[in-house]
Chains A and B, each alone.
Chain A
Amino acid sequence: MRLYVPLAITFVAGMIMILQFFIPHQPFPMLGDGVQDWYVIVASSAIFLGILNLLRVHVKKIRLRKRHWQYSPVTIVGFLTMFVSGVAWGVTEETPFYYLFNQMVVPMGATMFSLLAFFVASAAFRAFRASNWRATLLLASAFLVMLGRVPIGDIIWRWIPGAAESSHPYLVSEIAEWIMQFPNMAGQRAILIGAAMGVVATSLRMIFGIERSYLGGAD
């Protein structure tokens, strides 16, 4: 039962979505809309499961005094504060939720992402080596794109006598854009096509019950 019911649901839902794409006549569009609405409902329910799981994990961590348990009360209090303020007063402007979001969540999130700049600088210093011709090529492209994506690249170029009056006063930007438009696009397109083929193959394997790992080992 644990095996066949999920397999049957996957097969029926998958086939409906494929058929409603290729056959735009009733009842397939109606069935497709129904499946999509169910997807949104199930995905929304998953958020509540996530909330319950978050609370369960952190309560357990506090109870057992696991490593770094001191952060768990902060997580729970933060979650409950946002949850209660959102439910009680709404999430629109001039509400406690809006204030907390803008004054706490936004700066903290932006801070976490901005740390990336420091780690990139440190990692580039230690690991970005021209150790062979491929790495050297990558390094040269990275330098050109990094210079071309900011104004200082062209400013440096125009310091060269005659460059500002030449037919390419913004040569560094042009080279960076060329790298993005041609070598990068060719590589990205190859990756995209490869990934798309993989998605089609995996989807078909799941719809026909060959791929069952998403069932969590219930085979």
Chain B
Amino acid sequence: MKKLLERIGNVDRRVIFVLMALAVIVPLALKLTMEMPVGEGPSYELYEYIDQLPADSRVLMSFDYDPSTKPELQPMARALVAHMLGSDLNIVAMALWPQGATLGQEILSGVSDSLGAEQYEDWVNMGYKTGGQVLIVRLGTSIEAAFPTDLENVPYGEIPMLSDVSTLRDFDLVVTLSAGDPGIPAWVMIASDRFGVPVGGGCTAVSAPQFYPYLQQRDGERPQMEGLLGGLRGAADYETLIERPGLAAAGMSAQSIAHLVIMVFIVIGNITFFATGRKKRTKGGGR
């Protein structure tokens, strides 16, 4: 028995990789769905805040991520843009990450086509600009100085929906989809705390815990963030709330099984660890 446990404890990591791949592929291939109610929480708070904005409100949406985090952040971007354009809100998009501008364009033009929204009337993509936190400070005094043209080189003054937009304070909400730095902390510190513009956002699951302090609210005070979508779950919550199930909702079953598989691995790892002697190190298992 001890020998068997030792063998399991030293299992080749490629076996773990194969099981993990199956845990993700099989639920996706079988189109397994799971009931997923959305209760009160950061996802619902963001949905509620956007939903109560009057038509023609302006939202600044910053795509602060790159392709590596696309599987988590792109579904939430799609759901947010669909909700905003569907509610007749005007979106001014930008990016603090170089590749975010192109990822944002893909979402904006795709959702806009499906909802019949018009570029330069309902949405515009200003593109990427370097500078991070300093750029946000500059947006607080002049957006045109930071973005003299949009992604397609159309001058700021020729874009109809920007005719009465000059600084960050002209926006009713800032939404940032963030995969790291610069991202949510910069927007909270500058846009929310300094210029008083409400901020909401989304981030990868791994970074969500560090943004929870921004959600806390005292009686009568505005929180630093109006809501937060954390990882694929946050995106799936939002898709459920706007009743447009997409990639995130479909991915939740795969994520469920993958989490279970990781937990089973941890349990087996601990059983072998205690059964074969706590001090004994694994031999050759790290290959």
A positions within 8 Å CB-CB of B:
29, 32-33, 36-37, 39-40, 43-44, 47, 90-93, 98, 101-102, 105-110, 112-114, 117-118, 120-122, 124-126, 128-131, 139, 143, 146-147, 149-153, 155, 170, 173-174, 177, 180-181, 184-185, 188-189, 191-192
Minimum CB–CB distance from A100 to chain B (whole Å) comes to: 10
For the complex, count residues of B whose C-beta is within 8 A of A: 72
The answer to whether B256 touches A36, judged by C-beta atoms less than 8 angstroms apart, is no
The answer to whether A106 touches B70, judged by C-beta atoms less than 8 angstroms apart, is yes
Residues of A within 8 A of B260 (CB): 152
The answer to whether A40 touches B41, judged by C-beta atoms less than 8 angstroms apart, is no
In the complex, the chain A residue whose C-beta lies closest to that of B146 is A40
The answer to whether A124 touches B152, judged by C-beta atoms less than 8 angstroms apart, is no
Q: A125-B265, A152-B257 are in contact. Are A109 and B134 (CB under 8 A)?
A: no
For B262, give its contact among A39, A91, A124, A126 (CB under 8 Å): A124
For B71, give its contact among A92, A102, A114, A181 (CB under 8 Å): A114
B58 adjacent to chain A (CB < 8 Å) = no
B178 adjacent to chain A (CB < 8 Å) = no
Contact flags B257-279 to A (C-beta < 8 A → 1, else 0): 11111110110111001000010
Q: A39-B134, A125-B266 are in contact. Are A33 and B68 (CB under 8 A)?
A: no
The answer to whether A147 touches B216, judged by C-beta atoms less than 8 angstroms apart, is no
The answer to whether A117 touches B129, judged by C-beta atoms less than 8 angstroms apart, is no
The answer to whether B39 touches A121, judged by C-beta atoms less than 8 angstroms apart, is no
The answer to whether B268 touches A125, judged by C-beta atoms less than 8 angstroms apart, is yes
Minimum CB–CB distance from A54 to chain B (whole Å) comes to: 14
**Distance between Cα atoms of A125 and B34 in the complex (Å):** 27
Query: For chain B, what secondary structure do more than half of its interface residues adopt (helix, strand, loop), or is it mixed?
Result: helix
The answer to whether B258 touches A117, judged by C-beta atoms less than 8 angstroms apart, is yes
Contact flags B159-192 to A (C-beta < 8 A → 1, else 0): 0000000000000000000000000000000000
In the complex, the chain B residue whose C-beta lies closest to that of A38 is B134
Question: What are 24 contact pairs spanning A and B, CB under 8 A?
Answer: A29-B141, A36-B131, A43-B131, A93-B105, A102-B106, A106-B103, A110-B71, A113-B71, A117-B258, A121-B16, A121-B20, A121-B258, A121-B265, A122-B13, A125-B16, A125-B269, A128-B269, A131-B273, A143-B266, A146-B259, A151-B36, A173-B39, A188-B209, A188-B210
**Distance between Cα atoms of A192 and B214 in the complex (Å):** 11
Contact flags B125-154 to A (C-beta < 8 A → 1, else 0): 000011100110110011001100001110
The answer to whether B67 touches A40, judged by C-beta atoms less than 8 angstroms apart, is no
**Distance between Cα atoms of A89 and B95 in the complex (Å):** 21
